[in-house]
């Protein structure tokens, strides 16, 4: 049974419209999975050629891109350990550091005990991508991206901060407003589906001063992976 079907069955209070939206989201996700083997085979070929010719950067980029694509296409696990999400963020940032070796600096501090906590996938990476694409790339130099993850008062707090151009909704280009708003609402919806009202998402930004994303998750015992 898919995650969406299981959620609908476990939540009979959902309206018909909410059920329709959930099923439509699942349908679109399935459409995005058309012929992934072609992508994997192409990346494998690129990796093989890069390795043959000693092109380390191309080898690295194709390897990390393959990990990102595999995660985006695979719908078998909608809930994954936070450690896996952090690894995907690292894959994305590895590629960006090759693109911008002299500009992009990162500071990442993650409480290792949080890595086993189960959470919806793709709740962190979209904001990291937004930080680089919309916050830092328009800035000429001195790019800084900070990711901090820690526990406090039975909560897991995830901070994503950049010193980019920042934004005010009234002055942003309309395309950027749509893209970022859709991304934010998508993550907010996923958090609500999994945690109800126990999780929160807040985005603050100011032109010229950067952007801060704060994701707060409940730190519940049942969300931790068992280890023997």
Closest C-alpha among 17, 27, 21, 22 to residue 7 = 22
pLDDT for 26 beyond 90: no
Task: Give per-residue pLDDT as tens, 130-166.
Answer: 999 999 999 988 999 999 999 999 999 999 999 999 9
* Placement of tokens 């950049």 in the chain: 162
Hey, what CATH topology would domain 100-223 get? Heat Shock Protein 90 (3.30.565)
The token pair at 197 is 């009202």
Cβ 79 vs Cβ 194: under 8 Å: yes
pTM: 0.74
pLDDT for 82 beyond 80: yes
Q: How many helices (H) and strands (E) does the chain have?
A: 7, 7
* Placement of tokens 């920042």 in the chain: 166
Burial class (CB in 10 A: 0-12, 13-18, 19+), 116: middle
What are the structural domain ranges in the chain? 100-223
The pLDDT > 90 percentage for the chain reads 44
Q: Could you tell me the pLDDT band of residue 227, with boundaries at 50, 70 and 90?
A: very low
Q: Could you tell me the pLDDT band of residue 171, with boundaries at 50, 70 and 90?
A: very low
* Placement of tokens 């998750």 in the chain: 217
């Amino acid at each position: 049974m898919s995650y969406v079907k299981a959620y609908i069955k476990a939540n009979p209070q959902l309206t018909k419209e909410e059920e329709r939206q959930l099923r439509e989201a699942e349908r679109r996700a399935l459409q995005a999975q058309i012929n992934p083997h072609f992508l994997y085979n192409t990346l494998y070929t690129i990796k093989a050629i890069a390795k043959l010719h000693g092109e380390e950067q191309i080898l690295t980029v194709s390897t990390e891109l393959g990990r990102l694509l595999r995660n985006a296409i695979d719908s078998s696990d909608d809930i994954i350990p936070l450690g896996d999400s952090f690894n995907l963020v690292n894959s994305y940032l590895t590629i960006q550091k090759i693109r911008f070796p002299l500009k992009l600096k990162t500071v990442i501090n993650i409480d290792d005990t949080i890595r086993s906590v189960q959470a919806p996938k793709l709740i962190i990476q979209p904001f990291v991508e937004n930080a680089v694409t919309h916050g830092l790339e328009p800035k000429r130099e001195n790019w800084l991206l900070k990711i901090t993850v820690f526990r406090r008062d039975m909560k897991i707090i995830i901070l994503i901060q950049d010193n980019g151009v920042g934004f005010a909704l009234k002055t942003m280009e309309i395309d950027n407003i749509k893209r970022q708003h859709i991304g934010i609402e998508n993550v907010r919806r996923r958090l609500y589906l999994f945690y109800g009202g126990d999780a929160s998402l807040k985005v603050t930004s100011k032109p010229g001063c950067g952007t801060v994303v704060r994701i707060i998750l409940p730190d519940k015992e049942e969300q931790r992976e068992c280890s023997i």
